[in-house]
Structure 1
Amino acid sequence: MQTIHGGDIYRNRIQIDFSVNINPLGIPEEVKDALHQAVDVCMQYPDMEAEQLKEALSRKFCLPKTYFLPGNGASELFLGILHALKPKKVILPVPSFYGYAYTAKAVGSEVVCVPLKKEEDFLPGEELVLALQEDAELLFLANPNNPTGKLMKPAYLENVLEVCKEKKIYVVLDECFIEFCEKENSIVQRLSTYRNLLIVRAFTKIYAIPGVRLGYLMCSDKELLQKIRGQLPEWNLSVFAEAAGIACLQQQEYLKKTVEYVAAERKFLTEKLQNLGLQVILSDANFILFYSEKPLYEKLLQKGILIRDCKNFQGLSEGYYRVAVKSRRENEILEKAIGECIG
């Protein structure tokens, strides 16, 4: 049976979707209000450079406005980066988000995969540093990683950045899930030190607005940002996207509540999965990777529950699954359903 993802729910009878990692608190009310109000200006063309959104990002991170490039979701920005740089060789730790390899291959890059080891908690180590010695031009990293949910230690990440700076290797760092983490060890404030560093974030997951399509790139190399901007379509952000983004950046209490809620539910769900005898990879994010000796995907689908079958992630074997951290009620339903499947 072909696995499906959250985007396919309309063709399937899914009652609870654990395959997409969206904030369980839902869209902030202020963001809904901003989207409604944007209707009044939808007869106007959007600002091609999204200046108001850049200013809001600048205030949030206390960085120059010129460091930011908004885009139509993280995927568009990844593609823009690769089209602008056209690296001959890309280094990619695996397992990781399939979009990195897809984007690199789309522009003709050779992709060299560096396997992450289960016995090392799927965290990158010395093997990755050694791989950077072989005439690489670009490195993809995610912090936290998807599907493992693991955060890299700041000292390790700094070491990798130093190696890449010395060897003139661009580092594309995906931080799309970092705002869910209790220990948000972002490297954003080091952007001025590493001009080869490109950090990508999205509003999609953390603010529960995947349908809006909005992300942003951060980099201290202004000329490079302009080059990447030249690879993106004109008016790639709608007035709705910019309005939603500006409203999202004001939701500090919502972010605090999200981190606390996700931490509590992640702990609850992790313990329940472990009690069922499943091998759980401890996560820092809003999703959990685990291994089951018994097949779960189709059985749960028959119960109206969709989870992410990870067998098509390079570096993972059959039996690995990823589930989003959702509400207590939904997490309890998942626990009960899995128990029935493996009991």
Structure 2
Amino acid sequence: MIQPHGGNIHDYPNTLDFSANINPLGMPDSVHEAIVSSVSQCNHYPDPYCKQIRSKMSALLHFPEDQIVFGNGAADLIYRIVHALRPKHALICAPGFSEYSHALQEVHCEIHEHFLSSESDFILDRSIFNDFTNEIEMIVLCSPNNPTGQLISQSLLRDISEYCRLHYITLLLDESFLSFVISGSSNSLLPYIHEHCIILNSFTKMYAIPGIRIGYALCGSNYIASKLQQTGQYWAVSIPAQAAAYAALDETDYAVKTALYIASEREFMTKELSNHGIRVFPSSANYLLIYYESDFAEAMLKQSILIRDCQNYHGLSNQYYRIAIRLHDDNLALISAIKRYQNG
């Protein structure tokens, strides 16, 4: 059975999990301590507006506090954004994160897809402008894209943002994996944000807290932020999640250390996988998209290694897989498993 997402260790216990794109360095000590310390406050309701984190993030990003909205993970905010704005026609890229289309389907939006090509390593280029038809009300992009790991160039991002400004189109950019890129902030939409933009991000991946759900949206206008805040459940972010995020905002050195580590291990894994006859697509993220034999995921599972079978992504076949970058010893274990598989 093909899983809709990675990280399904509940059905496959005692496996080495390469299917979930979580920071291999683990949760920072300060974040762990903040979560534990917050438990004593859990007899109270959480702040529905996450005011302490909003204030801290506003100061760090030099971004208006009342235009920041927190949610129960980035996925929660995807649904809240779509339900708040209810576009009738939206454009997404394929392959891409499935929750974009699932959320749009909930509001009966007609989904248009821009297909990325393996021949160009799934890089988004200016051909996307051919799909900017008059009926499009929302464009959803991801940089680095999931599952390809490809960044959107700053020049293209700037031009898409300007097009959306001139044509009153909502631009939603998911930057949940951008912090894994060295100097990732230089690839953000933030310099080009305007009243029709929303930047989505998550604490889950970088700070290794997928069980503590918290993400945020930087909204280009008070109007969008207000609509988003009023959509979805009232107490969306738990007390432990808010405490974790507040502590994580101080972990700038940890994020830099992670990006450097990921770059080094990604280069190592790209070389090793390629040396074993596996096609590896260029990536800037903490995962690699590969193309190999159709039974590869099952073969790895027999060796207690879980990878992400990508055949349920639109635009990909049953020979595409996504592999997370893990600790070096784990990465070596995967390479050893591949050698055993290839040697019969």
Structure-1-length-normalised TM-score: 0.96
In the TM superposition, residue 342 of structure 1 has moved relative to its aligned partner by 2.9
Residues in 1 aligned to 2:21 and 2:32: alpha-carbon distance in whole angstroms: 20
Structure 2: segments with no counterpart, 5+ residues: none
Residues in 1 aligned to 2:2 and 2:34: alpha-carbon distance in whole angstroms: 39
Residues in 2 aligned to 1:319 and 1:301: alpha-carbon distance in whole angstroms: 15
In the TM superposition, residue 259 of structure 1 has moved relative to its aligned partner by 0.7
Instruction: State which drifts further: 287-296 or 101-110.
Output: 287-296
Residues in 1 aligned to 2:314 and 2:4: alpha-carbon distance in whole angstroms: 17
Counterpart in the other structure of 1:66? 66
Instruction: Tell me which stretches of 4 or more aligned residues in structure 1 moved more than 3 Å.
Output: 1-7
In the TM superposition, residue 319 of structure 1 has moved relative to its aligned partner by 0.5
Counterpart in the other structure of 1:281? 281
The letter for the 2-side match of 1:174 is D
Counterpart in the other structure of 1:203? 203
In the TM superposition, residue 165 of structure 1 has moved relative to its aligned partner by 1.4
The letter for the 1-side match of 2:284 is D
In the TM superposition, residue 216 of structure 1 has moved relative to its aligned partner by 0.2
Counterpart in the other structure of 2:112? 112
The letter for the 2-side match of 1:155 is S
Residues 7 and 19 of structure 2 are in contact (CA less than 8 Å); yes or no, is this contact kept in structure 1?
A: no
Residues in 1 aligned to 2:192 and 2:30: alpha-carbon distance in whole angstroms: 31
The letter for the 1-side match of 2:130 is L
In the TM superposition, residue 125 of structure 1 has moved relative to its aligned partner by 2.1
2:335 matched to 1:335? Answer: yes
Residues in 2 aligned to 1:7 and 1:177: alpha-carbon distance in whole angstroms: 16
Same amino acid, percent of matched pairs = 37
In the TM superposition, residue 79 of structure 1 has moved relative to its aligned partner by 0.7
Output aligned runs, 1:133-172, within 5 Å: 133-172=133-172
In the TM superposition, residue 183 of structure 1 has moved relative to its aligned partner by 4.0
Task: Count residues in correspondence.
Answer: 341
Counterpart in the other structure of 1:292? 292
Q: 1:4–1:51: structure 2 CA closer, same or farther, 3 Å change rule?
A: closer
The letter for the 1-side match of 2:192 is R
Cα displacement string for residues 301-334 of structure 1 (whole angstroms, at most 9, x for unaligned residues): 0110000001111011121100000000000011
Residues 176 and 202 of structure 1 are in contact (CA less than 8 Å); yes or no, is this contact kept in structure 2?
A: yes
Counterpart in the other structure of 1:187? 189
Cα displacement string for residues 2-25 of structure 1 (whole angstroms, at most 9, x for unaligned residues): 447544312224420000000000
In the TM superposition, residue 182 of structure 1 has moved relative to its aligned partner by 1.4
2:263 matched to 1:257? Answer: no
Residues in 2 aligned to 1:232 and 1:4: alpha-carbon distance in whole angstroms: 23
2:213 matched to 1:213? Answer: yes
CA RMSD across the alignment:
1.3
Q: 1:148–1:67: structure 2 CA closer, same or farther, 3 Å change rule?
A: same
User: Secondary structure of 1:90's match?
Assistant: strand
Residues 294 and 342 of structure 1 are in contact (CA less than 8 Å); yes or no, is this contact kept in structure 2?
A: no
User: Secondary structure of 1:140's match?
Assistant: strand
The letter for the 2-side match of 1:84 is A
Structure-2-length-normalised TM-score: 0.96
Structure 1: segments with no counterpart, 5+ residues: none
Residues in 1 aligned to 2:294 and 2:46: alpha-carbon distance in whole angstroms: 51
